[in-house]
Every structure is written in C-alpha cells, then in structure tokens.
Structure 1
C-alpha cells in the first residue's frame, strides 16, 4: 500500500471510509471505538504515536483532522523533501484538502487536487510555482520519473523560474522540455558546452552522466533518468561492501551516475546471494533474474567466461543480464572484473 487515510472523529471516519472505497490501494486507519466489519484498520494507541509510524511506512498520508495536530506530531520526524512522504490534511466535511508536506517531490499538491475533486471541495496549494502557474523542476521530475541531484539546489532553480531569469535546459531525449515550452526564460540547448557558454543564470541538465562537483555549482540542477541497468556477477559469499565498491568505481570510470540505476540484473543462481540482496536493499533497487538459457542467447561483447560456464551453465552473466533487463539496450560498459565481482552496464531502450 502507498497511501494511508487517518481520521479521529465520527465525521472524519465517514469521510475516510468514503475516500477509501475509491481505491483498493488505500489503507484506512480509524479509532477502535468506530470498529465495523469493513476492512478498515483500527488503532487503540494515541494518534501522536500512530502518525509517526505511518509516516515512515507510507508514501502518502491523508490526515482528516486539525492541521495543528498533524504539524505538532510530525515536526520532529521530518527528514527532508527527498525522503518525506506526501501529507495532505482535510477537514471532516471535505471542504478543504491542504497540501501540507512534500507538495512537489512527494506529490501532495496533486493528491490534494484529486481529493478535492472527489469531495467537491477546494485544494489548498501554497507552493509559489503552483500559485504562479509555473512547472516546478521537482514536480516535473517526479511526473517524469526522474531523480534529482543535488536536492538542495531545487529551491534556487525554482526561484529563478519565478523571477523569469534565464535558465539553460539540456534535455536530449525530450523528457521534460515539453513542460517548459511556454515558460519565459527557459531555453533548450543541444549540449552541456552550449548551455554553459550561454550566460544563463541557471542550468538544468537531464542526463545519466556523472558530473563531479555538483555541490559546488548552486546554479546547476541535474535530473536523472533511471535508465541504467547494472548487470552483476559475483562469487559465492561476496560481501555487500565489495559489490558496492566495484559498482560505484566502474560507474565513475565510465562517467555514469549511480542515481540513474534503474535496476540490477543477474542469473537466477544468485537469487539467494545475501551480499547482492543487501546491496539492492540499501539503495532501494530491484534485482531481475535470468535463467542461463536466456543469457546464452545474447551475443556477448566480451569473451566467453569458462568459469561462469562451468559454475552456472552460462557463457556470461553480467553482460547478457544487463542487456536483457535493458530490453536489448546498448551496452555502455563491457564486462569489468574486480576481485570477486564482475559488472556491466546497459542503457534501457
């Protein structure tokens, strides 16, 4: 489940049940005294204990209660806009849906509008770009499924939008350029060099390329397409730390961003490899597994691995796994071996 609706009054409970009935992907939390046989979740602990638990568990919270309660309870638990879930506060009559937290990155602004439409109420959105009818960089990135680096630069680049300053946008695949066609000051350039020589007040690059020293360039924001598949082969018992070190090093050598990893790929024989599982979990990545027969159908860029052929029946692991999970995409990094780990990188089509 991604969304939790929490209410604490009889009227709020009625609205929560109504909203919860609109989707199967919503959990509704109500005080135990309102228990019915309706599939809702009922709690006995104080809401001051419940909300922080749900805050760390869901991608969005709809709190049907006073705004002050939510602010006081959640304030000590805020981690930053890149990590906090969306929080929308509603009155029990459904008249207002207030985007309280993570309006852009978390999607609270959009959620507030959706809830207001369901209740016939009014969405209350206070972010400056929305008030001025401008597409904020972080909101556009969320809609396009892009990562952001550094998150701390969002405020400055959004401020430049509000001030109508010149912003150079490099977006070779057209992932976000369409959002800014009619925005004064935003100009699209074909490459980084042209953008950097344009004399613009700010720059936004949409790329999976590793750009060192981003934290020292406050006028530069990078939006990361998640289009890289990292194929991994490793010896039995290889540690999380070794896998992480090799993947990080090979990406940096190829000037590719870790933040653009879409998923990991390997052979099914590695489904119980603890180090690989821990590495994926640490970075919030999924792992796709392929059987040897499918791997052997992929034409390799490197020589056949006699070791892999003898051990798992595959002519290679990291290269073909990366290509398969990339949907036949181009191989950006051929097989690289370091210690107990082999790594290859393919770009999704």
Structure 2
C-alpha cells in the first residue's frame, strides 16, 4: 500500500513526520511550494492507495469533493485531527483498506479509531488479550474459542469488533497472526494508559512487575469499549489471558 500524509498546515509537520516514519509513507509539504493543499490532493489523489489527511473532517470533505469515483477504485482516506484525538476512516473503508489504516494511525498516535461502516459498527464485542512472549496463534485461538462458546454462546467470534492489547505486545507474531486470520483489527494501548486506569478484578503481580500495569486483558477491553460492560473477566489458558466486553446499547 503506497501511502501519503498530507497536513493542511505547517504546524502539522511534526505529527506528519511521525506518521510518515511509522507508516512508511510520503510526507507532502504544500507550504513549501506554490500548490495549495487542496490542489495537491486533487493532482496526486490517484497516485497513492491510501491517504492520511491531517486536518478537520469538514476541510477534508471539501478537499475531496469531486474526487471519489468508485469504492472499488478510490484510495483509502483517513482523517486525523492535528491533536491526534480521532483517526476517522472516511473513504474506502472496506475495499480500499481505510478501516485498517485508521487503526494503524491510531496505534501510532494514541488516537481513537473511528470506523462507521455497518459491518463493523454493529459488532458488540471487544476482546482484551494478553499473552506471554512467543505464544502461537493457535494457542491464542484456542484460548479465545474456549471463552467464547462457553461464556458467550456459539459463533460469537463473528461478533467481535476488535482486539485490544498492551503496547509491549504490538508486534507479537502469534497475536498478529490470530488477528489477521480472523480479519480483526488490533488496537494498542500504552502501558501508561493501563496504569492510569487499573480496571482489573484480580491484579497480577507478575504483569505489574513486567509492565507496571495491574493487568492487561481487562483494562484493554474496557478502554477500547468505554460504554461496555465486562461480560467475561480475565480467563487464562496456556500463557494467554482473555477478557470480553459487550457494548451496553446492544446487550
């Protein structure tokens, strides 16, 4: 996926540079030339398969006016405000990969990923997962499936919207493989965020000694779904811990 990062103002350059490094993207600097940000987007829109626009959503909507042609061909577009609060999947969420890109942007900046496509929006479950280093995807799947059928009802893996974990596990191969196999976005929380919001039923001394947080799976699930309720508390299986939260509105 070829990506471009386009800040609307020079004040967004530092954030843009951070994103460009993390996404292996090209950072465009319209303030260094004679072309306006809107003109630059128009001219180069089809040259990239994905865009991260650092600007307000209203500005992005005006800039994009007249550019989209088909959801099967349009590049993915994610809008991120300059305060890095929300990463909004705005265009080509499924076909173009903007939903997945929104999570990548969110994980790099600490923003909240905003995905509004119906397929994802109606899924009520969030899983928090913690695991020991080197745990396989098969073991993670076994831990999850032991929880889901027994506690939540058969087939509810299809109702999972996202998986959440701590930043120390952001590149854990088994966890990434599990999420990829089931098409589940992985949301990453900094250890400091978990330390500040210790939502755990049974604190773990071992986890605290390693991460500084009292737990991983429960606080991650609750942070990812702040209006949800914990329906499966921390459940451990062969080095994997799983917790599940369900949105209150859909319960």
Deviation for aligned residue 1:314:
1.1
The whole-number CA distance in structure 1 between the counterparts of 2:73 and 2:152 is: 45
Tell me if 1:333 matches 2:232.
yes
Gaps of 5+ in 2: 2-45, 47-65, 75-93, 97-115
SS of match in other structure, 2:143: helix
**Residue of structure 2 in register with 1:315 after alignment:** 214
Tell me if 1:247 matches 2:220.
no
Deviation for aligned residue 1:297:
2.7
The whole-number CA distance in structure 1 between the counterparts of 2:186 and 2:178 is: 10
- What is the CA RMSD across the aligned residues, in angstroms? 3.2
Give the 5 Å matches for 1:147-166.
none
Gaps of 5+ in 1: 2-16, 30-57, 61-142, 148-223
Give the 5 Å matches for 1:252-331.
252-256=149-153, 257-331=156-230
Task: Determine which structure has greater relative contact order: mean sequence separation of CA pairs < 8 Å that are 6+ residues apart, divided by chain length.
Answer: 2
The whole-number CA distance in structure 2 between the counterparts of 1:225 and 1:23 is: 26
**TM-score, normalised by the number of residues in structure 2:** 0.52
SS of match in other structure, 1:304: coil
**TM-score, normalised by the number of residues in structure 1:** 0.38
Which among 103, 106, 126 is matched to residue 229 of structure 1?
A: 126
Deviation for aligned residue 1:300:
2.9
Deviation for aligned residue 1:253:
1.1
Deviation for aligned residue 1:26:
5.6
Bigger share in helix: 2
Distance 1:236 1:28, change over 3 A: closer
Distance 1:144 1:338, change over 3 A: same
